[in-house]
Amino acid sequence: MLRAALTGCALAFAAAGPVARAADDSAYELPKVAVYSEQVANQTPVNTFAMPVSGLRFEPRVDVQARNLAEGQADLAIRGGVFENTGFKLGALSLFDPQTGHYFAEIPIPPAMLQSPKILTGAANALAGLNAGVGTVAYGWRPIEPRGEAAVAVGDFATNRQSLYQGVVAKTGVGGQTLAADAELARSESEGSVPFGDHNFRRAAGRLQLRGAQSQTDLFAGWQHKFFGWPNLYTPFGFNETEDLRTTLYAFHHRAWTSPENYWELGAYYRRNDDDYEFNRAVPGASNPFQHTTHVSAVSFDGHQQFGDWAVAYNAQAMHDSLASTSLTFGPYHTRSFLKLGVVPETSLDTSAGQLLLRAGATYDDTNRDASAVSPLVSAALTRPDGTCLYAEYAETTQVPTYTALKSNPAAGLFRGNPKLGRATSRNLETGAAFQAAGWSVETALFYRWDDHLTDWTFAKGITARTANRVDTGTLGFEVVTTRRTPRCDLILGYTYLDKTADYGLATVDASFYALNFARHRFTAAVVLRLGAGFEARLDHEYRVQEKNFLRTIGGNEAFVSAVGLYYLPPAVRGLEFSLLVDNLWDSTFQEIPAVPAARRQFAVGAAYRW
């Protein structure tokens, strides 16, 4: 169920996943199929195995800006933010890469092990996120079921992928709780839809789970290796670039609850990321060897507890990182510690107009390398007897830059850092509503956000580099997401409008790669059609009008992109599924990131068997 977290809106909305079926399709119901995202139609990408980012590409509240394929390297922007002020959260744990936000989405966890993501913004992000100025993509651990799945697919450009998942549940419990385990192996490779756009991916992951009536404990280990190439991957100078990424993650998480609203959870994780970037794959090591290894260790504790008419939400996170690099060597330190504390008391009042929920609290952020900050947040939400919810809120967040922005050579090289960058502050004022009408579930928000001292990467004519610069921005936005479900059709529609001002001070800026790379208008539509006789069509669409940028040389400033899947579940073999998938159906050449070529249209046919 989708709830407006931390705004007090008690209205629940039906998931957009394929759980409702027409009566004559009951023979094709697969209750053990995992829905990776409730806001998109296609759960599986065309050219590789599913990753957490796969379910976000057409998400109404997330703008995924991909290099090569989204699962290769993708920047995630929420509400016109930049890739580095979007965070990821796994239960109580905020996942992080200290080198660069380009690797925030390097999460070696199969989506089959995760619950559908929720997008936290405003006050919700202010309390739950860590070093994420605008939004956080939040996952939970999925309960393990005794089920399995094997999937294969082949496509054009020599694309092929295979994956195998198995979950098992022990017949005898431990201390009155259920012991379970699941594991997955996955691989894919392709020559790429453009020359020198090849990839080779591998992932292995396993989990142990102990689950009771009011608690769940998960112990996870995962490893992922990704090699991929792309022209102009990070620079606009016409070179064929490559990335070689190896990511390891170990995580422990425990959650206990007495109701969905009253719970506590704690966790810890260790993450290592090894990165070998080549500016020119024909001449390895040209323009500096770019080799980096980061380590992150973190512990977290959060929860929500009711005390009569009062309640309190709380959050505590501590994190330590380190960097070893061949090029990020400027500056006196390569380790950093983070601490975040947050407490938000709340009270509920019965009024003639409905139930009024009031929240007011603050968070404290600190590192051993930057000044600390205290950030307030307040919200009021009115839930009327008919279920309609109206809310208003104000929240502040802060974050510090990553090492690539701080430690790159400020005077030479392809990526020029700025050691004077400091803590950025984001202030968000917002109002919105959630309601149901004529069979539709609707969520809307109107907001204005001030981002002070935000880190952006910019381009200036005559300088063969991108430079980390500080910018103050103001963003006015409106968003609406509507959902309707019938036995034959699921429909999820989204629209976002953004308008932005920017002040770079005395810096010379002719183009922005990130802060000013946003869609003024973005429409999304996810459609699931249950056609009968075992056939199902899934369609994801996006239309956008992008802010102009002189670095965007191909594809213009408007784009219409579609991903389509046609599925057949033969009645004679329960659990078998055949699929025909098409990505970028209209072969759009729109550059999601300025100067980075778009991936071309791709096809794949696949088969999966579930038991």
> What's the distance, CA 88 to chain centroid?
6
- On the 0-12 / 13-18 / 19+ scale of CB atoms within 10 A, 29 is middle
With bands split at pLDDT 50, 70 and 90, how would you rate the model's confidence at 13? very low
Name every residue whose Cβ is closer than 8 Å to that of residue 415 and which is 6 or more positions away in sequence: 234, 404, 408, 457, 465, 466, 468
Residue 260, amino acid: P
> What's the distance, CA 531 to chain centroid?
31
pLDDT surpassing 50 at residue 174: yes
At residue 242, the pLDDT reads 96
Q: Report DSSP state, residue 236.
A: S
**Model pLDDT for residues 539-586, shown as the tens digit of each residue:** 999 999 999 999 998 889 999 999 999 999 999 999 999 999 999 999
> What is the C-alpha to C-alpha distance for residues 193 and 230, in angstroms, rounded to an integer?
10
Percentage above 70 pLDDT, the chain: 94
Q: DSSP of 560-599, one letter per residue?
A: EEEEEEEEE--TTSTTEEEEEEEESTT-----SSTTPPPP
Predicted TM-score (pTM) of the model is: 0.94
The residue count for the chain:
611
**Model pLDDT for residues 332-347, shown as the tens digit of each residue:** 899 999 999 999 999 9
Give backbone dihedrals phi and psi of 370, rounded to 5 degrees, phi first.
-135, 165
| pLDDT, averaged across the chain | 92
> What is the C-alpha to C-alpha distance for residues 185 and 351, in angstroms, rounded to an integer?
54
With bands split at pLDDT 50, 70 and 90, how would you rate the model's confidence at 119? very high
Which domains can be identified in the chain, with CATH numbers? Answer: 2-610 (2.40.170.20)
With bands split at pLDDT 50, 70 and 90, how would you rate the model's confidence at 32? low
166 and 146 in contact (C-beta within 8 Å)?
no
At residue 186, the pLDDT reads 98
pLDDT surpassing 70 at residue 31: no
> What is the C-alpha to C-alpha distance for residues 426 and 96, in angstroms, rounded to an integer?
19
